[in-house]
Structure 1
Amino acid sequence: MPSDSEVTHGCDRGDGDGVDDDARAGVPDEATTAVLEEIERRMRTKDFIMEPEAIDDVKRYVAAGGAPSTAIETLSDNYRGYAAMTSLAVQWLRVTAPPRRGTCTSPMKTSGDSTAKEGRRGESGEQETPQGPNADEDGGEASWGSDARFDEMYFLETLARERFDANKADAVFEGRPPAWLDGLFRSERGRAVLFSLAEKNPNSLLISCAIQHAWQRGMRHEVRALGPAAAAYFSIFHELMADHINGIVVSGTDAVRRRELIERLKSMCCQSIGTYVFGQLMLASLGRDEDDATASVSRTIAATLSEEIEEAAAKLHGAATVRRIAPWLATSAVDVSAKYATADLLSSRPVGSSYSADRTRDIGALAAGDVKKLLEMYITSDEKPTVVPLRHPDVLYNLIAEAFKWTPDNVNRLRGECFELIALAAADENITCDEVKDALNAAVAVIEDAKLGKDLDKAQMEKVFNVPVASAGIVAAVRSALTCEAYHRVVQVGNTNEVLLQILADIARKHVALQGAVLEALTAVVNVCGRSHGDELVIALVDLGCELVAAGHVIPTITTACDSWRRSLEASQIRYFAEEVLEIAGPPYSRDFAVIMIHLLDSSNYRKKMSKTVDEFVEEVALKRRELKLSLSEVNKLDHLLR
């Protein structure tokens, strides 16, 4: 602390200090008095001496006529040492924190790990990791017992996350931004705190500036790591979307990585209606790729992603909203009219091909007027729209369901109109409209022959299997019939139901893309017939589930069985299904497969020695429980199955 004479001497140099002659003469004017009072008020603040501007305020105070001794006394009396107290408390936490131990970690190993970590510390005392000093060696947030967690910055970060107020934070831009703002943006830990708040505060100007700062200065990996939280910034959105699409292409056969990137893209594009529209426009642009080398892949990826994003947006923002937006994305005026017509057609239908355990898609009647209006646009209109609106999955699905709907009098009055529209949608350079209609009529004939107990015509079957929409028609027909109570009151000829379900199994093996539709139809039938139509039908349904597993549709099928079928089937029937699945599958088992099967077996009241195949599976999973990273509840269920 400088002496009174040193401070006075330092403030008496020159005449440019802004203090008038009356102040030097010891007669302060009103302005000088106000300055002294303001500085004294600040100096009475607790721990003001620790502030960066403290020495400058003391010089101004003395230059304005204030006594140096008064300044020293005020600063000393109000010193509390909060910074030192905080450092001491942090040190106590570091000393008293329990060591991190796993179930197989010995005290000696824990001690050795701590010593090794101390050896890796930099001069600043912060742990050097790729994620910064606030992360543990596993790449996540430092856990209890990690020295890096208990520093002053960590608690400041925690406080900021708990009490962050976007309105108060954005107030720093009222007037000239403070000097510390640039330092905050340049700090990796400072940016990390702001980025962690981005998802909950999408409209914060402070966070937006931090993201823009990082993006413009080449720290794009940090912004990419934000994922959906960065979607609100359109200057960044298109590059992030391009990165994700490129990652999907590069992922190749890595299904897990591909699905992860698709989920990120869906989340990013569905943040708002604006991001949804922008994302769909970008995909439409990608689908118009005219490069012969990449056009096919680009169009396939664009179509697939567009469908998945639309389905996700419908769940988040509502099907009606998504359908109102669809005409905006049309490429011509006539396509706009066609999209409005398809929106009217589907006005009461859910969007997308997914289904849950509690709800499958509605296949009720379409309005005849809407179907005929749409057909007129494509048949009698002078300027015909493109087939793009008809090829929308929801439109095609509902047209097929309507065309193949079972009726007690076996008369479907809209079948002809639906077949015309389906043929227009399915025809391409490889197949004509007439060939598609022939396959659709063959599908109707196959269903009728099966209901009458006749031998199936192999030529007809082959014709149906060669056209995916015709195969989808059989799936829709079987589902419509078996989920209708009136159908079950009609006397069935021979083993009609078993034959119909066997046809579905053949379709699942022939068309991978229709396996989801077969599973959806199977689930709908199980929910209707599970406990009310006899064991013979139930066994045939369960066997169809096993056929789906054998065809490669494993995880979706056993997940549906675990979530939905167990509420409609007897425990013994679920055990039968589980045993058949384990006869098909073999070790090594993936974590997802093992976990779902554990839940399925537990719900079926399985006990040891009921089945050798199941016992071998349970023992195999028990041996690898650590490798599979089972949760405590899953381990408890596994132990229960071992008894």
Structure 2
Amino acid sequence: MALSETDMNTAMDGIENQEQIREECRQRLCAQDSIMEPNVADIIAAFIQYKGQPSSAVAWLSESYEGVAEMCNIASEWATSMNFDPQDIMQNSLKALLVQNFDAQQVDSEFMSSQSAPSWLNNMIEDSFWRQAIYELSEIHNKCSFLKFAIQKISDAGYQQEMAKVSTASTFLNVFNGVLYDFLKAMITKDDIDVDRLLPEFKRACLQNEHKYVYAQVLLSRLTEVSGGSSYQRIQYELERNAAKQFKSPFVDIFGTIINKAPQQLVDAKTAIMQGENPTPGDVIQIYKLYTQQRVPSLKFLRDAGFIDKLIQTAFLPSQSGVAVKPEIKERVIHLLAIAAAATEDSNGSLELSDVPPVTQSLKRLDTVLAKKSTGADLETAVGDLLMLLDHPMVALAVVHWLDSLLADTTYYETYFRTTDIPLPHLLLEEIASRHPMLQKRVFQVLKKNVEMNIKVLGPEIMMALRRTLLDRMIYLVQLGYAIPILEYIRDTGDKLDESLIIHSVQRVLEMADEPYSQEFVSVMVDIVDPISDNLDKSMDVKTVIWQFFNTVLKNSENFDQDTLEKIRLIQRKG
């Protein structure tokens, strides 16, 4: 019986469908390393079912095999043998491919039309490496809706603090709120050392544009007005100082005036003093009048750290222009410093000044003592007077400024440094650091500046002795508890210091350190020791101290992360 036209068409369609399926199977079997695909058996079965030749399937599988997976395994073994982490290499390679080939438009089209997020997104969010990949992609493709959605999901999962660097994170107000909340909550419970380490990330988050800066400053301003909120003033000041450098416009000053509700006369006078080399008598008198009248501005405007530094430089340091400050102006500057240091403010804005006169007198006596020793000559005769005056933090801060200026003049070291003696300015800095923990950072800054000096007149051997003396002063700060910033400095400048100085510092620190060791301390010590480990055999007593430290850490391995422990084992294997 002849087939009808309909039956003929159906048969032809069936043949065409078979050919189409075989072609699809052929393409899949010819793809690179198709034999490694998890569904390759199903593809082969479909090809044979639709009249494909098994021999053809075998040929295509053989020809398409390049062994990429096996090559990855071999590369992984090589990496392991060279002490590289193969997982890190693989992940970084995948991330590089992802960044290179990411198509934001196609991704949005594929995933944003769905009613629910893809299941794999949650797995990526739980992994810190892939969160970083999402952050990197969001910086490049800042208009991608899917990446914005992923950023929101990361915030909801509680990772606000690590999102501070991501500019697209603040696209969502609640995400930026979370970032601010986490930082401020952490800062209020930390000491000065930890706050200094948190501030760079906080400033980076808030200074990505003017909108974020305004929002953060309004929030900080409100926080300073509540009970116990004075600790936020420092954060507010640091943010404003960096914003002035970054945005380079009158915007920061104008906004600061509005948000802080400062009298315009005070703002104008402060701005002129901060921007000028030497304060003019008119500006000093204007601020003095404002703070000695019946209703005074808030003390927070006077307690600006940068402004305090400027007033101290005016009162106690030689003028760079050579023009001496008039006595009546210096007296007013000293009185303003005493008010900033000792006055208290009640809820009505009135000042309690009973503690101000003793500080004023101490600052005046300090001025008398320092005026006679402007070159550092015969400093020994002034030490007794200085030690009696150092009890008040404002006086001690002024002495730190003066010593910084004295030591910055390299003629002091050229004239007075002896390798057998500790310089008197160094001993005074140690005394200040001991009496006033809040000034340890300022003392460290002075020591750091001196370590980095290069006084050619002294010669290499004398310079090394001077640096050794300065590092010993830093190690005294470690003994006082200011440890991590000092150790991080030694780690970060190790390539600029003579190796013998590093070894000496490591030995001193480890001999004074007691258990239990913190993860942070161990980690930074390992980083310091690693570059010098090849030469420890030249100083066996130091090597013994280091090995004892390492063995103690390994014995208490549950307290430390695996990366740090592996670095220790690697150093010991090399040694």
Query: What TM-score range do you get, normalising by the shorter chain?
Result: 0.5 to 0.7
Matched, 1:441 2:364: yes
Quote how far apart the aligned CAs of 1:221 are: 1.6
Q: Going by fraction, where is helix more abundant, 1 or 2?
A: 2
Matched, 1:284 2:221: yes
Contact 2:432–2:439 (CA under 8 A) maintained in structure 1: yes
Equivalent-residue separation in structure 2 for 1:179 and 1:579 (angstroms): 58
Quote how far apart the aligned CAs of 1:233 are: 1.9
Contact 1:571–1:605 (CA under 8 A) maintained in structure 2: no
1:205-239 CA-to-partner distances (Å, cap 9, x unmatched) read 44335556x59xxx822674762332232243224
TM-score, normalisation: structure 1: 0.61
Paired residue type of 2:311 = L
Pair 597,446 (structure 1): closer, same or farther in 2 beyond 3 Å: farther
Aligned to 1:393: 305
| Identical-pair percentage | 17
Paired residue type of 2:252 = I
Aligned to 2:209: 272
Quote how far apart the aligned CAs of 1:328 are: 0.5
Question: What does residue range 233-632 of structure 1 map to in structure 2 within 5 Å?
Answer: 233-248=172-187, 265-289=202-226, 295-296=227-228, 298-300=229-231, 302-310=232-240, 313-314=242-243, 318-319=245-246, 321=248, 324-330=251-257, 331=259, 334-335=262-263, 338-339=266-267, 341-347=269-275, 367-368=277-278, 370-372=279-281, 374-380=283-289, 385-406=297-318, 412-413=324-325, 416=330, 418-429=333-344, 432-447=355-370, 448=372, 451-455=377-381, 461-466=387-392, 468-487=393-412, 498-528=423-453, 532-533=457-458, 534=462, 540-564=469-493, 567=496, 571-587=499-515, 589-590=517-518, 592-594=520-522, 596-597=524-525, 607-608=536-537, 610=539, 612-621=541-550, 624=553, 629-630=563-564
Matched, 1:182 2:105: no
Aligned to 1:208: 148
Quote how far apart the aligned CAs of 1:476 are: 1.1
TM-score, normalisation: structure 2: 0.67
Secondary structure in 2 matching 1:185: coil
1:565-615 CA-to-partner distances (Å, cap 9, x unmatched) read 874x65555544443333322455455545555665656995436362552
Quote how far apart the aligned CAs of 1:459 are: 7.1
1:430-461 CA-to-partner distances (Å, cap 9, x unmatched) read 76444333232333345457743455576763
Aligned residues: 493
Aligned to 1:163: 101
Contact 1:405–1:477 (CA under 8 A) maintained in structure 2: yes
Quote how far apart the aligned CAs of 1:558 are: 3.0
Quote how far apart the aligned CAs of 1:517 are: 0.7
Quote how far apart the aligned CAs of 1:304 are: 3.9
Paired residue type of 2:284 = L
Contact 1:475–1:504 (CA under 8 A) maintained in structure 2: yes
1:377-403 CA-to-partner distances (Å, cap 9, x unmatched) read 313469975443332222223332443
Unaligned segments of structure 1, at least 5 residues: 9-66, 106-140, 173-177, 290-294, 348-365
Pair 259,484 (structure 1): closer, same or farther in 2 beyond 3 Å: closer
Paired residue type of 2:220 = L
Equivalent-residue separation in structure 1 for 2:111 and 2:486 (angstroms): 59
Quote how far apart the aligned CAs of 1:325 are: 1.2
Equivalent-residue separation in structure 2 for 1:253 and 1:453 (angstroms): 34
CA RMSD of aligned residues (A): 5.2
Paired residue type of 2:224 = G
Pair 237,570 (structure 1): closer, same or farther in 2 beyond 3 Å: closer
Equivalent-residue separation in structure 1 for 2:192 and 2:296 (angstroms): 42
Contact 1:566–1:603 (CA under 8 A) maintained in structure 2: no
- Bigger CA radius of gyration: 1
Question: What does residue range 141-160 of structure 1 map to in structure 2 within 5 Å?
Answer: none
Equivalent-residue separation in structure 2 for 1:159 and 1:271 (angstroms): 28
Equivalent-residue separation in structure 1 for 2:249 and 2:341 (angstroms): 24
Paired residue type of 1:284 = S
Contact 1:562–1:600 (CA under 8 A) maintained in structure 2: yes
Pair 576,277 (structure 1): closer, same or farther in 2 beyond 3 Å: same
Equivalent-residue separation in structure 2 for 1:578 and 1:412 (angstroms): 46
Equivalent-residue separation in structure 1 for 2:222 and 2:477 (angstroms): 37
Pair 221,99 (structure 1): closer, same or farther in 2 beyond 3 Å: farther
Equivalent-residue separation in structure 2 for 1:234 and 1:221 (angstroms): 16
Unaligned segments of structure 2, at least 5 residues: 41-66, 81-85, 345-351
1:461-514 CA-to-partner distances (Å, cap 9, x unmatched) read 344322x12111111111111111354576799x99722221110111111111
1:19-70 CA-to-partner distances (Å, cap 9, x unmatched) read xxxxxxxxxxxxxxxxxxxxxxxxxxxxxxxxxxxxxxxxxxxxxxxx6666
Paired residue type of 1:471 = A
Matched, 1:231 2:170: yes
Quote how far apart the aligned CAs of 1:547 are: 1.8
Secondary structure in 2 matching 1:553: coil
Aligned to 1:37: none
Equivalent-residue separation in structure 1 for 2:159 and 2:380 (angstroms): 64
**More off after superposition, 569-578 vs 623-632:** 623-632
Contact 2:206–2:212 (CA under 8 A) maintained in structure 1: yes
Contact 2:233–2:300 (CA under 8 A) maintained in structure 1: no
